[in-house]
Chains A and B, each alone.
Chain A
Amino acid sequence: MSADSGAITEAAFQSYLAYLIAGDRNKCREVVEDILRDNVDTKDLYVGVFQRALYRVGELWECNQLSVAREHIATAITESMLSLVYPSIFAAEHCGRKAIVACAANEYHQLGGKMVADILELNGWDGLFSGANTPAKDLLELINNTNPNLLCLSLSVQSGLPTLLLLLDNVRTEFPDLPIIVGGQAFRWGGRENIASYPDVRLVETIHELERLIKDW
């Protein structure tokens, strides 16, 4: 957080969460605009509001308190909120390093990956986001064409782990020296030992850990 930036209040978060669950995107927008007026650090908004609220929505879904449809509405609203922050994200001075952020084939949750790409941009990296459900062939081609310093793979749903591991095999065969990080909510349910068996593939638990990693690059 910079010296003149404000803090996100618990009341602001709770109000955003309530509007998000109710599917009221106009009210969500008002809360986010109020937060941005307080000059809050973009990363704090991502972690303290967007990520925290979506984790809570996920928990409510897991406890059968919310439906899949309601979760999709919350995700779509959050994704539309990101555009409010873009002017500050893309204004950062670039350091010449670039990373590809991708979701493996059949992974349709792209918000986590998108936020990772934005955090990279905030730290002066070029965050190339290939989107949800990226076929392995397309990703390999993108790596070949852009020659990134880092590949970030996001996995939200645990059932996608075998596809992700297959993708890691493909990438490692074609690009043995490319550093890779993986992360996402799916690893709450396992898969850590699979990732640990790959050389130079690191599981990153939080956005703060990601930021530390790319700052020390």
Chain B
Amino acid sequence: MIERTAILEKHIWDRSSLLVLNLDGFGRVVEANAYALRLLGNDCIGRGFGELLIDFNSLFELGKFQTDNSSAHLLNFSTAEGMPESLKVTYYPCNDGGIVVGEHDVGELQELRTTMLTLNQEQAILSRELQKKNVELQKLNDTKNQFLGIAAHDLRNPISTIITYTDFFLEDEEHLTPDMTEVLADVRSLADFMLHLITQLLDISVIEMGKLVLDKQLLDIVPFINEVVKLNGLLSQKKGIGIEQHYRGNLDSILCDPHKIKQVMNNLISNAFKFSLPGTQVKLLVFAEPRELKVEVHDQGPGIPAHEIDKLFKPFGRTSIHSTGGESSTGLGLVISRRIVESHGGRIGVESVVGSGSVFWFTIPFGA
């Protein structure tokens, strides 16, 4: 019988998951079993029992704890890792102090395990449903884009016909009164805008469906930029806005889709003109960085408030800033530009200061 007790004592001391502390007459820890040392750290020896507890409201009273052992006390220990650990603790008084025995509430731990397991399973089911819904939404979005593409495509021909007929009537000046000329000019201008909008909607539907195909070619950078600036020259003259070009670094050639990059540059330059006042300058900076080509378009326009910047690259995301010459905008140009630049592996962005102007920029990696 003695041998059995000794075996049990050794097991509790060395291997069990019970916390056992021997306290002296002053409530200080003089000895701890292996589990207690692992849980509380070796420095629990010599400390007062109350010091081992998390006791926010100073509720713990050692005397009361030592005398009331009618039931186990729920106490929170601060572990060696600084985490709280709740144990049900019983105090057994002895001749020269007492023994503290702490144990986990197995029923409660079982409940915790079951709750966590169930919640995890629910989470997994919800996640599966979410993924399924995402795929369905993607399919619906593709269908929407297809409809958009078909509608935009089919609208292009009638609008082109309206433009042709309007031009035809406008050329017949002899039979037109000034009022009629003005109305027809408005029709022509609106039809132009509709055609532009439809072309952009077609671009968006192609991009959204992941069908943007790049036709990459090796492009001579400087002649290309000169050509784009020349194309925008008419707009520049019309609004009385100057345009400067600055080049820096080894601007030889780059692999990209020239048609698409021209679309991006036209968008950024025409935006700069739209939001600049006559007499100001638009500056085009083109420079080679170690790994990428960077193009910056600086304007001296009104600038964009910081909280509106995010709207710029979202479809139809309008800001509070208005064009200076009443020019219209589809709200799609920057969205298309962003997708084109990103499909080249580049980045696009803007820095703006209200009252000073904006810098729209994009990069294209040399190894794209």
User: Interface range on chain A: under 10, 10 to 19, 20 to 34, or 35 or more?
Assistant: 20 to 34
Q: How far is the CA of A76 from the CA of B307 in the complex (A)?
A: 36
| B76 close to A80 (CB less than 8 A) | no
CB distance from B109 to the nearest CB of A (A): 6
0/1 string, A179-192, CB within 8 A of B gives 1 = 00000000001000
Residues of B within 8 A of A72 (CB): 112
Given the complex of chains A and B, what is the CA–CA distance between A64 and B65 in angstroms? 13
Contacts of A80 in B (CB 8 A): 119, 122-123
In whole angstroms, what is the CA distance A68 to B119 when docked? 18
Number of chain B interface residues as a range: 20 to 34
B151 touches A (CB below 8 Å): no
Nearest chain A residue, comparing its CB with the CB of B115: A73
Per the bound structure, the CA–CA distance linking A77 and B111 in Å amounts to: 12
Given contacts A67-B86, A149-B307, contact A61 B119 (CB under 8 A): no
List CB contacts (< 8 Å) of B83-128 with chain A. Answer: 84-86, 105, 108-109, 111-112, 115-116, 118-119, 122-123, 126
Residues of B within 8 A of A66 (CB): 74, 86
CB pair A96–B311 under 8 Å, yes or no, is yes
Contacting residues of chain A (79-110) with chain B, CB-CB under 8 angstroms: 80, 83, 95-98
Determine whether the beta carbon of B115 is less than 8 Å from that of A64: no
With beta carbons under 8 angstroms apart, the residue of A67, A83, A96, A189 that contacts B307 is A96
Give chain B residues whose Cβ lies under 8 Å from the Cβ of A61. 76, 86
Give chain B residues whose Cβ lies under 8 Å from the Cβ of A6. Answer: none
Within 8 A of A (CB), among B246-303: none
Kindly state the separation between the CA atoms of A98 and B307 in the bound complex, as whole angstroms. 9
**Shortest distance from the beta carbon of A160 to any chain B beta carbon, whole Å:** 9
Chain B residue with the shortest CB-CB distance to A68: B86
Q: Considering only CB atoms, which chain A residue lies closest to B113 in the complex?
A: A69
CA distance A65 to B306 in the complex (A): 50
**Nearest Cβ in chain B — how far from A124, in angstroms?**
11
CB distance from A214 to the nearest CB of B (A): 12
- Docked Cα-Cα span, A68 to B74, in Å, equals 10
Residue with the highest number of chain A CB atoms closer than 10 Å, among B57, B112, B126:
B112
Q: Is B308 touching A96 in the complex (CB atoms < 8 A)?
A: yes
Q: Which residues of A contact B82 (CB under 8 A)?
A: 159
Residues from chain A with a CB closer than 8 A to the CB of B309 are: 96
| Set of chain A residues within 8 Å of B308, measured between Cβ atoms | 96
Q: Which residues of A contact B306 (CB under 8 A)?
A: 149
A64 and B73 in contact, given A72-B112, A73-B115 (Cβ under 8 angstroms): yes
- Asked if B59 is at the interface (CB within 8 A of a chain A CB), the reply is yes
B85's partner among A62, A65, A68 (CB-CB below 8 A) is: A68
User: Using Cβ atoms and an 8 Å threshold, which residues of chain A touch B59?
Assistant: 63-64
- Residues of A within 8 Å of B118, CB to CB, are 25
Contacts of B168 in A (CB 8 A): none
Residues of B close to A98: CB separation below 8 A: 310
List the A side residues contacting B109 at CB < 8 Å.
69
Q: Is B241 an interface residue (CB 8 A)?
A: no
Report how far A62 CA is from B75 CA in the complex, Å. Answer: 9
**Bound form: Cα–Cα A65–B57 in Å:** 12
B122 touches A67 (CB 8 A): no
Complex CA–CA separation, A62 to B56 (angstroms): 6
Chain A nearest CB from B351 CB (Å) reads 11
Question: Distance (Å) between the CB of A58 and the closest chain B CB?
Answer: 9
A141 to B11, CA, bound (A): 50
A70 interface contact, C-beta 8 A: yes
State the Cβ distance, A111 to closest chain B Cβ, in Å. 13
Contact with B along A39-83 (1 / 0, CB 8 A): 000000000000000000000011111111110110011001001
- Known contacts A95-B307, A96-B308, A98-B310, A73 near B86 by CB under 8 Å: no
Taking a contact as CB atoms under 8 Å apart, the answer to whether A96 and B310 are in contact is yes
> Which of A64, A66, A189 has the most CB atoms of chain B within a 10 A radius of its CB?
A64
**Docked pose: A163 CA to B201 CA in angstroms:** 50
- The interface centre, meaning the residue of A73, A83, A217 with most chain B CB atoms within 10 A of its CB, is A73
B342 to chain A, nearest CB (A): 14
User: Would you call B311 and A69 a contact (CB within 8 A)?
Assistant: no
The residues of A that contact B310 with a CB separation of less than 8 Å are 96, 98
Name the one of A70, A77, A96, A149 contacting B108, with C-beta atoms under 8 angstroms.
Answer: A70
- Chain A's closest residue to B309 (CB) is A96
Q: Is the CB of A131 closer than 8 A to any CB of chain B?
A: no
A62 touches B307 (CB 8 A): no
Whether B307 pairs with A77 at a CB distance below 8 angstroms is: no
A76-B115 CB under 8 A given contacts A62-B57, A64-B75: yes
A65 to B108, CA, bound (A): 14
Given A70-B86, A72-B112, A95-B307, 4 new contacts (CB under 8 A): A23-B115, A73-B112, A96-B307, A149-B306
Q: Nearest 5 CB-CB pairs, A to B?
A: A67-B86, A62-B56, A68-B86, A69-B112, A96-B310
What are 30 contact pairs spanning A and B, CB under 8 A? A23-B115, A25-B118, A61-B76, A62-B56, A62-B57, A64-B59, A67-B74, A67-B76, A67-B86, A67-B105, A68-B76, A68-B84, A68-B85, A69-B111, A69-B112, A70-B86, A73-B111, A73-B112, A73-B115, A76-B116, A77-B119, A80-B119, A80-B122, A83-B126, A95-B307, A96-B308, A96-B310, A97-B307, A149-B306, A217-B307
